[in-house]
Amino acid sequence: MHLKQGGFTLLEVLVAMAVFAVVSLTLLKSSSQQVSHSAAMEDRLIAHWVAANTLTDLQTNGSYPDVGEIETSTVMARRDWFITIKVAPTPSGDVRHVTVSVAPYDPDVADIPSPVVSNIGFVRQQQRGRR
């Protein structure tokens, strides 16, 4: 009487492991890309808030910015942000064209990365005596 034992051959096990390895690497790469895209989206969202806040401050604080470029920084969401404000004249003497560009940065590193967000707005000169 001859009993046949059931099970996988060594070749079947190796093929199954190879297929599992390829699928695992594909899933790992996909999830890594997803994390990277999520981080980039978070950067853009927070930078947009920084730019919107900066532009709103310029529009509501009552000062009229001079034509030129202003560089400053701020902290939002426990991260440092580098802000470039470009002020340009418009055909109307009472209005300035303002572009606010925001980039994440490390104060300990000299290089400023390229902006992730730029917002454009206008600032009107406040008329004295009018509200």
Range 5-14 average pLDDT: 84
Cβ–Cβ under 8 Å, residues 47 and 116 = yes
Dist. CA 18–CA 4, nearest whole Å: 27
The domains of the chain are located at 10-124
pTM of the model: 0.73
Write down the architecture of domain 10-124 according to CATH: 2-Layer Sandwich (3.30)
N- to C-terminal Cα distance for the chain?
106
Tell me the three state secondary structure of residue 94: coil
Q: What percent of the chain has pLDDT over 90?
A: 63
